[in-house]
């Protein structure tokens, strides 16, 4: 349980290590940098930048994933989180970045499009967008 300080510290250590290529991981996992979005009220959301794509991530998942806690949605956080992540992705050599969302997730689609995402196609129930990172 993450409520225990030692367990939470172990979780944070794993997240920090996951950004390095040499960190052991499952064969189908890639290095990933995780950021937390916080404000004066505390934790708002999480953002993950996957450093490269596997065949599975090319279909579902993409380079960047984000989520905002339910009590803080509809405040513009996701749009700002994605905007802030684009230069970070570019610094990792990602340009453009692939983002995916469910075809029923209108809010996420708007976030992606607001940040320059261009719809490439739909595969199953997933929409696939390419977002430039170099223009930011």
Per-residue model confidence as pLDDT tens digits over 49-76:
999 999 999 999 999 999 999 999 999 9
pLDDT tens track of the chain, all 136 residues? 657 777 888 989 999 999 999 999 988 899 999 999 999 999 999 999 999 999 999 999 999 999 999 999 999 999 999 999 999 999 999 999 999 999 999 999 999 999 999 999 999 999 999 999 996 5
Beta strands at 126-131 and 97-102: parallel, antiparallel or unpaired: antiparallel
Q: CA-CA-CA-CA torsion for 113, 84, 81, 28, nearest 10 degrees?
A: 90
CATH of domain 5-131: 3.40.630.30
pLDDT given at position 4: 75
Q: Scan for tokens 């579902």, then name that residue.
A: 60
| Distances in whole angstroms, Cα of residue 98 to Cα of each of 4, 14, 58, 63, 74 | 36, 24, 8, 5, 23
65 CB-near residues (< 8 Å, 6+ apart): 47, 48, 50, 99
CB 6 within 8 A of CB 25: no
């Amino acid at each position: 349980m993450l409520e225990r300080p030692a367990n939470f510290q172990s979780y944070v250590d794993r997240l920090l290590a996951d950004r390095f290529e040499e960190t052991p991981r499952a064969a189908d996992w890639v290095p990933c940098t995780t950021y937390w979005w916080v404000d004066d009220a505390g934790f708002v959301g999480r953002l993950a930048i996957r450093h490269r794509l596997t065949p599975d991530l090319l279909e579902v998942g993409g380079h960047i994933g984000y989520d905002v806690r339910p009590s803080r949605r509809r405040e513009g956080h996701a749009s700002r989180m994605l905007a802030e992540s684009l230069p970070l992705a570019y610094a990792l050599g990602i340009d453009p970045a692939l983002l995916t969302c469910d075809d029923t997730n209108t809010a996420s689609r708007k976030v992606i499009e607001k940040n320059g995402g261009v719809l490439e196609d739909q595969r199953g129930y997933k929409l696939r967008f390419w977002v430039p990172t170099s223009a930011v």
